[in-house]
Chains A and B, each alone.
Chain A
Amino acid sequence: MINNIKILYHQGKQYIPDVTKVEVPGVFRGRPEITNEIVDVNTLVELCPTAAIASNPVSIDLGKCTFCGECAFKFPNKIAFTKDYKISTNSRQGLIIKEGDVDPITLNPDLIRKEIYSIFGGSLKLRQVSAGGDNSCEWELNACGNVNFDMGRFGIEFVASPRHADGIVITGPITENMAEPLQICYDAVPDPKLIILAGTDAISGGIFADSPALNRSFLNKYKIDLYVPGNPVHPLTFINGVLELLKRT
């Protein structure tokens, strides 16, 4: 007993007091900024492993970007990744960062269904479905609930059964072999329900986008409520994205 109390005492305070403002350590690659500098655009577009960079104007699609950082290493005056981890949004178009864009990424309030705040504003239970995820996003989604990030303090939690859930969080590029289980799981969630895509693989297929082993037809059928980019998603990106989605608008 005494030992347990000692252990507890030695942990100190581990939780992040304000997950909306905390600064992340290190050289984290979050929201990129692209200057108007003239560069060899063809080389820039070519070097990206997932065709996330487009020209005219130069832009980066965070739904395709693996955050490898190669473009910023090769063209440091053109592209820089900031440490801004608030990169979730609710429109696919909103993930595309163009030359000169320096504003924070936000959610488009017009696209948020009204019932989201009224029904889920105080408590949101989510079912996670890994559909070809490489266990990195799954890891980080687990970390959202640990004592450091403590997403549970906002009433947001992952639950064991779709029957208890208010929505699903999909990770991975959606393999052919997971297409049916994903559909069954989604159907088992009571209405109204959310769909969140977590990670580059889920949003666009990422590096797997043109693999013949995928079946992404599920995504054509439904409206996506939140896109959370990352490779993997950072817990702070996920938590802040969901908090924005649940805000009174």
Chain B
Amino acid sequence: MDNYLVINNNQTVLLKDIPVLNYEDFLSLNTSFIDESTRHCVNYFAYKLHNKLKLICCIADDSNSTILLSSSEINVDETEYPSFTAKHLSFHIFEREIHENFGIKYSDHPWLKPVRFAYDRHDKNSTIDNYSFYQIDSEELHEVGVGPIHAGVIEPGHFRFICNGEQILHLEIQLGFQHRGIEQLFLNKTKLLQRTTLSESIAGDTVVGHTSTFVKLWESLCNYKADEDIQFARTLALELERIAIHTGDLSAISTDIAYQLGSSVFGRLRTPLINFFQIWCGNRLAKGLIRAGHSHFYFTKELAAQLENTLNAYEKDYSEMWNVFKELPSVLARLEKTGVVNLEQATAIGTVGMVAKASGLNRDIRASHPDNNYVDLKHEPITKRHGDVYSRTQIRNNEIEQSIEYIRKMLQNIPEETKERAPLSLPAPNSFCLSLTEGWRGEICHCAITDEKGDLMVYKIKDPSVHNWLALALAVRNNEISDFPVCNKSFNLSYCGHDI
């Protein structure tokens, strides 16, 4: 037990209590950890420490709600290190990031493809404009380049297809266009409100998910326990965000298969849900709602009554639409067996959230590492087996129904507003904290390290999309290129959450 430290979700520990191993032991410990299928890596990152590089690996054990921490310190020189990825592919993205940012060389990493061309990357000569994509030399094949700017009103990213006729042989995705340097800004901006604003902007479609992760982490660093009414509001908002976005996704999926009725009806059904956020906190995407140690927007009985009406009206029209949608042959013909990620692939690449669950991999922080009201809700994740576009569509439907049920349950027992809140103190010095939240896309993980004065020294953000983009690239293989949009929509991954 002495070569790693066991913590729980949202727990702050002293940095020096995380064991420092030599690299070989560090590698074998963490790669053997995830030989167990209940374990996966939630974050693995590096930062400069004097003239060395400190590596910290965080493995979640879903069977007992723990997180296993270990670390290593390596030299930044010409040494080539054996990679974790050679043993478990799911580490690929973390090691690519470490390589890109710090120039660490790996002897056996299969593909050190740049992650996001961060402004402070190691090799400034490698730019997003001169990146050379994977190519196949052949008379029969052709390439299709899409983006970074896409046809719809969406974020930028480049997709490079290698096709055999209409069929996709290979897709390479290049991201990084959205890189805003957020992790560094978390350190530079020292006011709490600035940092909260930053967390609201990590991915503007997951405001509740990312902001609650930040505030949970911050409160833990300050040894502060959020009052019951605040915990309640955060849980409720997270489930409401899930219903709203899933509904919007069903509209987008309908659009991409030219199913006009579904597109309009699901689209308009989202409106009252996000308008409810505006009624509650003045912003349709819930910006302003979640704050560390306090809240400007207590969830009142009047709001509860309004939400209940909203959900009642929603549910009637929603289920009428879904019941037609789910049986329409022209819909099913496009969604079934399209864009398949099987369980083996989903596990190997370390998918999380909806994407994992659609392929039968049970990953859901609400059940495995619960906090706030999830402890009482006893969430049971919904999984599917086929891993196709239809499974990812069905998961949304099931989760919408489930979240409505949770909200109804919560509305029966609304906590009184705490009038006198304890003040938030300063973060503990020399500490490490990790916070996990199941956003609508999946697992969000933030990690922070403070220095001897208690100032933030490292801030690491991991959106679930970081794991799942590779799943999209695999899913479209052997599919018609015309099915790419609906495949993409069924994943609905974040560009800015990935590029940070």
Contacts and interface: CB of A to CB of B under 8 A. Distances in A.
Do chains A and B interact in one complex? yes
Interface string A9-39: 0110010000000001111110000000000
Interface string B1-26: 00000000000000000000000000
A177 B210 CA distance: 24
A232 B204 contact: yes
Contacts of B205: 134-136, 139
B496 A135 contact: yes
Interface string A165-209: 000000011011110110001000000000000000100001110
B305 interface: no
B117 A177 contact: yes
B329 interface: no
B261 A28 contact: no
Given A26-B278, A172-B178, A138 B153 contact: yes
A142 B153 contact: yes
Nearest to B198: A207
Contacts of B281: 26-27
A139 B182 CA distance: 21
B181 A213 contact: yes
Contact of B155 (A27, A130, A176, A211): A130
A211 B494 CA distance: 21
A7 B321 contact: yes
A45 interface: no
B271 A146 contact: yes
A69 interface: yes
B279 A207 contact: no
B301 interface: no
Interface residues of B, number: 64
B449 interface: no
Nearest to A14: B268
Contacts of B153: 128, 130, 138, 141-142, 158
A73 interface: yes
A25 B279 contact: yes
Interface in A107-140: 127-140
A147 interface: yes
A55 interface: no
B275 A135 contact: no
B170 interface: no
Interface string B184-221: 11001101011011100111110100000000000000
Interface in B152-188: 152-156, 176-182, 184-185, 188
Contact of B284 (A129, A140, A185): A140
Contact of B203 (A135, A176, A180): A135
Interface string B127-154: 0110000000000000000001101111
A155 to B, nearest CB: 17
Given A10-B317, A67-B283, A146-B268, A213 B155 contact: no
Interface string B275-317: 1001111111101100000001000000000000000000011
B320 interface: yes
Nearest to A176: B119
A209 to B, nearest CB: 10
Contacts of A132: 177-180, 496
Contact of A129 (B149, B198, B282, B296): B149
Contacts of B188: 210
B152 A160 contact: yes
Contact of B287 (A24, A68, A212): A68
Ranked nearest first, the 8 interchain pairs of A and B with the lowest CB-CB distance are: A136-B204, A26-B279, A134-B204, A213-B181, A160-B151, A213-B119, A27-B282, A26-B278
Interface of B: 117-120, 128-129, 148-149, 151-156, 176-182, 184-185, 188-189, 191, 193-194, 196-198, 201-205, 207, 261, 264-265, 267-268, 271, 275, 278-285, 287-288, 296, 316-317, 320-321, 324, 494-496, 499
25 contacts: A7-B324, A8-B261, A10-B320, A26-B279, A26-B281, A27-B280, A28-B283, A47-B193, A49-B193, A67-B282, A68-B287, A69-B282, A69-B296, A73-B296, A130-B153, A130-B154, A134-B203, A135-B204, A136-B201, A146-B267, A146-B268, A176-B119, A201-B201, A207-B189, A214-B180
